[in-house]
Amino acid sequence: MKKNLDIRTLETAKEAPDNPYELFNDWFTQAKEHEDIYPNAMCLATCTKDGRPSARIVLLKDHDERGFVFYTNKQSNKGEQLASTPFAALTFHWKTLELQIRIEGAIEHVSDIEADTYFKTRHPGSRIGAWASQQSRELASRTELSDRVKATEEQYKDNDDIPRPPHWSGYRVVPDKIEFWHEGAHRLHTRLVYAKDGINWSKTMLNP
C-alpha cells in the first residue's frame, strides 16, 4: 500500500523513516504514477581527471539497497571519467510532485550476469546501436553512423540473440549520502539528509 510519505510534516529528522530506501521507493512510486514521461530520468554528474565536473541525463534501470544502476558505453566520456574517478552524484527532479532527490557515492560495476540480463530486454535496434555507436567520439557525418548500423544489422541478421558488446555495461552508484527535498512556500523548502557511516544511516534536517 502506497504511503505517500510527506517530509513536510516532520518536526525533527527523528520522525523520518530510518531507511532512506523506504522513502525513495515511496517517492519513485509516486513519480511513476504522476510524471508523463521518463520518471526514471536522473542527472548523472561525474568528474574528469583534472577536476572538471560533467553532467548529463541518464535513466535509472534498477535500484535496491545496494544502490542505483544505469547502463552505458564504458568508452564514452562518462565511462572514462568513472574509470579515473569512481565517484558520482545523481539528481532526480519530479516537477509535478515538487520533489527532488540528490544521491552521492562510490561507483562499482554491475556483474556480467546483471548486464547480460538487462541487455537482452532492450529493443533490437538499441542493441544494434550499442555495437554501432562509438559513443562520445567525433562523428564526421550521420551517413558514417548509418553505415555502421547497417553493417551491424547485416552481421546479426540471422541472430535474434544479439550479444552485449564488451564495452557496454552497467554501473551502480553505492550511496553514502541521500538528500530528499520537498518544495515549500516562499522558498522554505524541506530538506532531509541521510548520511551513511559504515552500515548505519544518520538523519539530519537542513535549512532550505
pTM: 0.92
pLDDT tens-place string over residues 68-124: 999 999 999 999 999 999 999 999 999 999 999 999 999 999 999 999 999 999 999
Gap between the Cα atoms of 126 and 122, Å rounded:
6
Mean pLDDT for the stretch of residues 178-200: 95
For residue range 143-187, list pLDDT tens digits in order. Answer: 999 999 999 999 998 888 899 999 999 999 999 999 999 999 999
Q: Which residues are catalytic?
A: 187
User: Which of 80, 83, 101 lies closest to 92, judged by CA?
Assistant: 101
pLDDT of residue 1: 36
Q: What is the pLDDT of residue 3?
A: 66
31 with 92: CB under 8 angstroms? Answer: yes
CATH superfamily of 7-121+167-206: Electron Transport, Fmn-binding Protein; Chain A (2.30.110.10)
| Tens of pLDDT, residues 32-73 | 999 989 999 999 999 999 999 999 999 999 999 999 999 999
* Tens-place pLDDT, residues 63-81: 999 999 999 999 999 999 9
